[in-house]
Amino acid sequence: MKQQAASRYCRCGTRLARDNAGSLCASCQAKARDLVIRPPEAPAEFWTTDQMSDALGRNCQYLWIGVSRGLLITS
Ligand SMILES: [Zn+2]
């Protein structure tokens, strides 16, 4: 008499396939992967705050210094 393995479930409630050795369903795996490989979503206002303007200004200054000193030019 064969014993049936107990069903396993993803955190979202989806029953996991028997051949899925992990703990997440395909949908949750894709969402988890997207969190790692895609940039975070930010509202348009995020880029126009004074803090962002100051930070970008500093970084552009460093970029310009690097370019003017030939540090960032590769050929
Ligand atoms: Zn899931």
**Over the stretch 14-71, which tens digit does the pLDDT of each residue have?**
999 999 999 999 999 999 998 888 887 788 888 888 887 888 887 777 767 766 776 6
CA 69 to CA 73: how far, in whole Å?
Answer: 9
CA 52 to CA 61: how far, in whole Å?
Answer: 14
pLDDT score of 71: 66
CA 10 to CA 29: how far, in whole Å?
Answer: 10
pTM here?
0.48
Residue 52, CA atoms < 13 Å, CB-side half-sphere: 8
CA of 37 to the centre of ligand 1 (A): 19
CA of 22 to the centre of ligand 1 (A): 11
CA of 24 to the centre of ligand 1 (A): 5
CA of 14 to the centre of ligand 1 (A): 6
